[in-house]
Chain A
Amino acid sequence: MKKVILIKYGELTTKKDNRKFFIKQLKKNIFDKLSSFSFDIIDDYYRMFIIPNEDELEEIVLKLKEIFGIHGIVIAYETQDNDVENIKNVCLNLMKEKNEKTFKVITHRSDKSYPIDSMKMNNIIGAHILKNTNFKVDVHNPEVELNVEIRREGVYIYNETISGLGGYPVSTLGRALLMLSGGIDSPVAGYLTIKRGVELYYLYFESRPHTSIEARNKVIELARKLEKYNTHGKLIVINFTKIQETIYKELDQTYLITFMRRKMYQIAERIAKKYKCLAIVNGESVGQVASQTLSSILAVNDVTNYPILRPLCSFDKLDIINISKQIDTYDISILPYEDCCTVFVPRHPVINPNLKHIYEEEKKYDFTSLVDEAVNNAEIVDLKEKISDLL
């Protein structure tokens, strides 16, 4: 008897006309992710079946757990023999592997030419299990659900679902640009955005030599962690040194962070447009630091009317940390390298910046050519890791 993997779609069930599009993208993403394995996929409106090499099954399941748009992963037994006696025995053997608790049988008969209807199959299989084991029936809250799907291609039997990540298949909802610093929040914001089916490009501002190559490597590592889910992202690095130094020299230093972030947003908008990103994403969480008070957000957001997504705006820090541990970015984020937001920080940054004052100050220096230069000299960093041939 063959083992196959059955994929249950996530929130796609709420989609109607677009459903085929979502499924097609999910299938493409699965092929991308599993490119090193050999397998077949059969899909329809409700389900997808992956027919793997049996010895690769476990590895494939691990990979599927990293794909958004999958609600549940099921390892099902496939039998070609749809004779009732055979189905009964397969069911019984499968149930014997479980601790005996309460159960119910759910038969789906998508092959309507099958002579016995679903209700009757439930009864026949249920009776067989009751007779031969100590399981008890509970149709309302069963501890084990035994599923029998009778299809033209064969009969699929399973009693355990592994949860998938949920969300939407990546890139079904367009692309966005994540402002990726080295901190804990932005990778988490990125992860949550990818979960909603959005493909990400990453934007990083660096201030060499005030920031080190290690700080950049740290961001590359973080981007790579997100690539596990995102797959086709690009990391764009902006050289921010001159702008930062000029702000420091020319403008009111207590507003340094505000000015810096205004420039960053301007640059981000232009990069987003250039790479067809429909929104900018960042890791801001209201009130967390001086630059994330509502009045700071207002003062910074003032430079752009591009959509800015802040998936973490209402998250507590501890909740953010928990997610960052789950996605394995926490350990990288806490490495102690200076990033461009931590060099030249004023001792008491302004908490409630005043827009009038900002406009006055910004009149003192024309940043246009510096911003142009930063955008034009943006560097694209390869995220595919080249493994040393020494290994």
Chain B
Amino acid sequence: MIYLDYSATTPVDERVLDSYCKVTRDYIGNANSIHTLGVKSKELLIQATNQIAEIFNCHPKELIFTSGASESNTTAIKGVAFKYANRGKHIITSKLEHKSVLEVMGYLSNIGYDVDFVNILPNGQIDLKHLEELIRNDTILISICAVNSETGFKQPLKTIRQVINKKNPNVIFHSDLTQALGKTRFYLSDLDLASFSSHKIYAPKGIGILYKKRDLQIDTLIYGTTENCPFRGGTPALPLIVAFSKAIRLMNDKLDSNIKKCEKLKAELLKGLSKYPIQINSTSQSVPQIVNFSLLKIKSETFVHALERHEIYVSTTTACSSLEESTVLNALSHGNKDVSTTSIRVSLSHLTTSSEIQKFLEVFDRVWNELLLK
């Protein structure tokens, strides 16, 4: 089997799974309980949170555990929209966002908010000039992901912040960092809100983080808060939190070398693909772990299933909207269906090997010729 869909989700690291099991078995107390068992759980919860805060270079109180990035995104966007409705109802986002962002935006525009989409430049970056034009006095929120999940396009968060500060410093800046975590470096100091997910970095599914700058007030989404969860209600999911924290540490220890390794693999892959009349959608602005291309003549779904017969797993657009047309590529190609309905995403990891890439290229060649003849 050759798994090349690491941006959809990742296999859980054995060391992380080990911690998960141990915590599940040995830490039975609720971190909110005041007896010794509860306190023992709470101590571990604090250490796990502190470890993440240290790596993210933020305050532990700024980290809110959620069920995943979709909840983080929803909480951030609804939370700002509802809290600051009296200040304005204008929100700016992009077509590069995850479904959980786009759908909340849709909901908000249905109930009277004014949502604008910033243009995307051919290199995959958002048009900063257009963004500056869009920002108004009643703009309350800008939500732009750091890395697009389909194409790997990376956004200059620091510059976006500067544009915001120049035009209207009251605007709250949220970024979905789900695909950035483990793929590139980022600085939370540029942001007011950020979303993370565990399962993109070899941790179990079911946990995410919402980073919320300390002084920022937003409405809560899930009620029932306690001392340990002062913003989001619920019992802290200690095994998942510990596993996530450990995965973040393991990821951080190897980040630079992993990025280098993926750059090398990406170069090999692109070299192998260069002889086909296909369109490479990822650009120099993309993270090395994501390579996106449009086959132009073959539907993506057909191709994914054909590869699957050889036990090679890639995806069409993103796992969350696999059967739909790519909104990102649709926007980029100005509605050219040949581009937006034939795209394939290959996503790499430090676990990927050179021989896997070679094998993929061999199978690609076979499938390509078979399907073209039909």
Query: What residues make up the interface of A, taking CB atoms closer than 8 Å to B?
Result: 212-214, 217, 331, 335-336, 385, 387-388, 390-391
Contacts and interface: CB of A to CB of B under 8 A. Distances in A.
B61 A390 contact: no
> Looking at chain A's contact residues, is the secondary structure mostly helix, strand, loop, or mixed?
loop
A214 B34 contact: yes
A-B residue pairs, 4 tightest by C-beta: A390-B19, A213-B39, A391-B246, A390-B242
Given A331-B61, A335-B227, A390 B246 contact: yes
B47 A391 contact: yes
Contact of A391 (B39, B48, B61): B48
B34 A391 contact: no
B86 interface: no
B19 A391 contact: yes
Given A217-B39, A335-B227, A390 B34 contact: no
Contacts of A214: 34, 39, 42
Contacts of B245: 391
Contacts of A212: 34
B127 interface: no
Nearest to A335: B227
A391 B36 contact: no
A390 B23 contact: yes
Interface in B15-37: 19, 22-23, 34, 36
B324 interface: no
17 contacts: A212-B34, A214-B34, A217-B43, A331-B61, A335-B227, A336-B227, A385-B47, A388-B47, A388-B48, A388-B242, A390-B19, A390-B23, A390-B246, A391-B47, A391-B48, A391-B245, A391-B249
Given A213-B36, A388-B242, 6 more contacts: A214-B34, A214-B39, A335-B227, A390-B22, A390-B242, A391-B51
A331 B227 CA distance: 12
The listed residue with most B CB atoms (<10 A of its CB), out of A336, A385, A390, is A390
A387 B22 CA distance: 16
B336 to A, nearest CB: 45
A391 B242 contact: yes
B122 to A, nearest CB: 33
Nearest to B48: A391
Interface of B: 19, 22-23, 34, 36, 39, 42-44, 47-48, 51, 61, 227, 242, 245-246, 249
Contacts of A390: 19, 22-23, 44, 242, 246
Nearest to A386: B47
B43 to A, nearest CB: 7
A214 B19 CA distance: 25
A388 B44 CA distance: 7
Contacts of A331: 61
Contact of A387 (B19, B47, B227): B47
A214 B47 CA distance: 15
A331 B39 CA distance: 18
B173 to A, nearest CB: 24
Contacts of B227: 335-336
The listed residue with most B CB atoms (<10 A of its CB), out of A212, A214, A217, A336, is A214
A331 B23 CA distance: 27
Contacts of B48: 388, 391
Contacts of A336: 227
Contacts of B22: 390
B177 to A, nearest CB: 21
A214 B34 CA distance: 8
Nearest to B18: A390
B226 to A, nearest CB: 12
A165 B42 CA distance: 33
Nearest to B249: A391
Contacts of A388: 44, 47-48, 242
Contacts of A335: 227
A214 B35 CA distance: 9
Contacts of A213: 36, 39
A176 to B, nearest CB: 29
Nearest to A336: B227
A213 B43 CA distance: 11
A42 to B, nearest CB: 30
A213 B41 CA distance: 13
A308 to B, nearest CB: 33
B325 to A, nearest CB: 43
Nearest to A331: B61
A219 B93 CA distance: 45
A385 B44 CA distance: 12
Contacts of A217: 39, 43
A212 B245 CA distance: 28
A213 B38 CA distance: 11
Contacts of B249: 391
A164 to B, nearest CB: 21
Nearest to A212: B34
A300 to B, nearest CB: 31
A168 to B, nearest CB: 29
B188 to A, nearest CB: 16
